Structure 1
Amino acid sequence: MANLKEVKNRINSVVSTQQITKAMKMVAAAKLKRAQDRITMMRPYSQKLSAILQNVSGSGEDMNNPYAKERPIEKVLLILVTSDKGLCGAFNSTVTRRVKSLMESEYKSIAESGNLHFMTIGKKAADYLKRNKLPNNADYIDLFNRLNYEDVSEAAQFVMDEFEKGTYDKVEIIYNEFKNAATQVLNQEQFLPIAKADSEVGADTDHAYSYEPSRDYIEKELIPTSLKTQLFKALLDSNASEHGARMTAMDKATENAGDLLKELRLTYNRTRQAAITTEILEITAGAEALAAE
């Protein structure tokens, strides 16, 4: 049985850890509220804008839209969105597991030919690629420190330019979509080319469109803005999901620390009682020995 000093040291260590996890939970909860408000406000705008452009892309109109051009899929870029820090449960590992699954199934031949490329947003994704010796074509690990539309636009523009040049035939975003504080859903979303709306779920393929202010404006301004908004929305989703996952993980860690403290305190009391009993027996034995003399 461990001595009293060892048990007491363990109790102090667990108490200290519990205080840290409790503080981290409170910080994550505060950040989650702000992140949740941002994605809640952004999501309806982003979804409506994407739906409009998908309908226009699938309408049969001859638009000069380089971002809707479909080519044989020979070169693929995966945008991996993770966090910069850990201690958020399975938040990051779900993304890396999906990458591994894609390399073994859907994009196996492309990966074997060396045409599966990666772009990372978040330090954990970059670390994963480095550990597994996978190519990282672009690294944006600081976006979450200053998550705003302007900085995300630069990352989106880089991808759009590369797609337009033919460097990639398809671009997908892999990120965690925010549902609530305890639930994050892994999402694999096509970024480029712009997906055409499914005619079975509301594409206006039988209607002509009038463009205001002009078709040229739609092609040069609205379509790029929509794509940048799509990536920004994905990052806002991921940011809110990260804080929700961290809050949940820290809450569970605090709870586990409490359970461990109960066991350690029980062990401490038992050890202390055993020590006292041993001391009493030793004193009694000594007294009897003196009386016998």
Structure 2
Amino acid sequence: MANLKEVKNRINSVVSTQQITKAMKMVAAAKLKRAQDRITMMRPYSQKLSAILQNVSGSGEEMNNPYAKERTVEKVLLILVTSDKGLCGAFNSTVTRKVKSLMEGDYKSIAENGNLHFMTIGKKAADFLKRNKLPNNADFIDLFNRLNYEDVSEAAQFVMDEYEKGTYDKVEIIYNEFKNAATQILNQEQFLPIAKAENESGADTDHAYSYEPSRDYIEKELIPTSLKTQLFKALLDSNASEHGARMTAMDKATDNAGDLLKELRLTYNRTRQAAITTEILEITAGAEALAAE
């Protein structure tokens, strides 16, 4: 049985850890509120804008839009969105497991030919590629330090330029979509080419569109803005998901520390009781020995 000093040291250590996890939970909860408000306000705008452009792209009308042109998929870029820090449960591992699944499944032949490329947003994604000796074609690990549209639009423009040059035939974003504080949904979302709207069975696909202010404006201004907004929305989703996952993980860690404390204190009391009993027996035996003399 462990001695009292060892058990006492373990109790003090667990108490310190519990205080840290409680503090981290409170910090994550505060950050989650702000992040949740941002994605809640952004999501309806982003979804409606994407739906409009997908409908126009799938209308059958010829548009001079390099981001909607579909090519034979031979070179693929995966944008991996993770956090910069850990201690957030399975938040990052779900993204990395998805990458491994794609490399062994849908994109196996592309990966074997060396045509599966990666772009990382978040330090944990970059670390994953480094550990697995995978190429990191672009690294934007600082975006979460100051998450704003201007910085994200630069990253999106880099991808759009590379797609337009033909460096990649398809671009997808892999990230965690925020549902609530306890639930994050892994998303594999097509970024380029612009996905066409899926028509319901029997729906009339012959639509005539009028463009305001002009068709040229939509092609040159609105479509690039929509793509940048799509990436910004994905990062806002991931940011809110990260704080939710960390808050949940720290809450569970605090509860586990509490359970461990109960066991340690019980062990401490039993050890202390056993030590006292041993001392009493030794004193009694000594007294009996003296009386016998």
Whether TM-score is above 0.5 comes out as yes
How big is the shift at 1:292?
A: 1.6
Secondary structure of the residue aligned to 1:59 is coil
How big is the shift at 1:205?
A: 3.4
CA-atom RMSD in angstroms: 1.1
Cα distance change, pair 102–209 in 1 and its aligned pair in 2 (3 A): same
Where does residue 78 of structure 1 map in the other structure?
Answer: 78
Tell me the alpha carbon deviations over residues 233-253 of structure 1, each in whole angstroms, 9 at most, x when there is no partner. 000000000000000000000
Tell me the alpha carbon deviations over residues 10-30 of structure 1, each in whole angstroms, 9 at most, x when there is no partner. 000000000000000000000
The answer to whether the Cα contact below 8 Å between 1:59 and 1:204 also exists between their aligned partners in 2 is no
Tell me the alpha carbon deviations over residues 133-181 of structure 1, each in whole angstroms, 9 at most, x when there is no partner. 0000000111001000000000000000000000000000000000000
How big is the shift at 1:201?
A: 7.3
Secondary structure of the residue aligned to 1:200 is coil
The answer to whether the Cα contact below 8 Å between 1:54 and 1:195 also exists between their aligned partners in 2 is yes
Structure 2, gaps ≥5 residues long: none
How big is the shift at 1:62?
A: 1.4
How big is the shift at 1:50?
A: 0.1
How big is the shift at 1:199?
A: 1.8
d(CA) in 2 for partners of 1:225 and 1:42?
14
Judge which range, 71-80 or 211-220, deviates more.
Answer: 211-220
Secondary structure of the residue aligned to 2:67 is helix
Cα distance change, pair 62–204 in 1 and its aligned pair in 2 (3 A): farther
Q: Aligned residue pairs: how many?
A: 293
Judge which range, 153-162 or 206-215, deviates more.
Answer: 206-215
d(CA) in 2 for partners of 1:157 and 1:85?
26
d(CA) in 2 for partners of 1:113 and 1:203?
40
d(CA) in 2 for partners of 1:54 and 1:67?
12
The answer to whether the Cα contact below 8 Å between 1:73 and 1:170 also exists between their aligned partners in 2 is yes
d(CA) in 2 for partners of 1:201 and 1:275?
79
Cα distance change, pair 61–204 in 1 and its aligned pair in 2 (3 A): farther
Secondary structure of the residue aligned to 1:177 is strand
Cα distance change, pair 152–17 in 1 and its aligned pair in 2 (3 A): same
d(CA) in 1 for partners of 2:115 and 2:45?
34
Paired residues for 1:149-164 under 5 Å: 149-164=149-164
Cα distance change, pair 118–208 in 1 and its aligned pair in 2 (3 A): same
d(CA) in 2 for partners of 1:2 and 1:186?
45
d(CA) in 2 for partners of 1:202 and 1:159?
36
d(CA) in 2 for partners of 1:122 and 1:113?
26
Tell me the alpha carbon deviations over residues 223-267 of structure 1, each in whole angstroms, 9 at most, x when there is no partner. 000000000000000000000000000000000000000000000
Where does residue 31 of structure 1 map in the other structure?
Answer: 31
d(CA) in 2 for partners of 1:202 and 1:240?
38
The answer to whether the Cα contact below 8 Å between 1:55 and 1:204 also exists between their aligned partners in 2 is no
Cα distance change, pair 33–204 in 1 and its aligned pair in 2 (3 A): farther
d(CA) in 2 for partners of 1:143 and 1:289?
78
Tell me the alpha carbon deviations over residues 54-105 of structure 1, each in whole angstroms, 9 at most, x when there is no partner. 0010111111000000000000000000000000000000000000000000
Secondary structure of the residue aligned to 1:66 is coil
d(CA) in 2 for partners of 1:55 and 1:116?
29
Judge which range, 201-210 or 235-244, deviates more.
Answer: 201-210
The answer to whether the Cα contact below 8 Å between 1:55 and 1:203 also exists between their aligned partners in 2 is no
How big is the shift at 1:206?
A: 1.2
The answer to whether the Cα contact below 8 Å between 1:18 and 1:257 also exists between their aligned partners in 2 is yes
Counting aligned pairs with the same residue, the percent is 95
Judge which range, 267-276 or 194-203, deviates more.
Answer: 194-203
Where does residue 230 of structure 2 map in the other structure?
Answer: 230
Secondary structure of the residue aligned to 1:269 is helix
d(CA) in 2 for partners of 1:117 and 1:204?
38
Please list every run of at least 4 consecutive aligned residues from structure 1 whose deviation after the TM superposition is greater than 6 angstroms.
201-204
Judge which range, 31-40 or 206-215, deviates more.
Answer: 206-215
Cα distance change, pair 62–203 in 1 and its aligned pair in 2 (3 A): farther
Matched, 1:131 2:131: yes
TM-score (ref. length: structure 1):
0.99
Structure 1, gaps ≥5 residues long: none
The answer to whether the Cα contact below 8 Å between 1:58 and 1:203 also exists between their aligned partners in 2 is no
Secondary structure of the residue aligned to 2:200 is helix
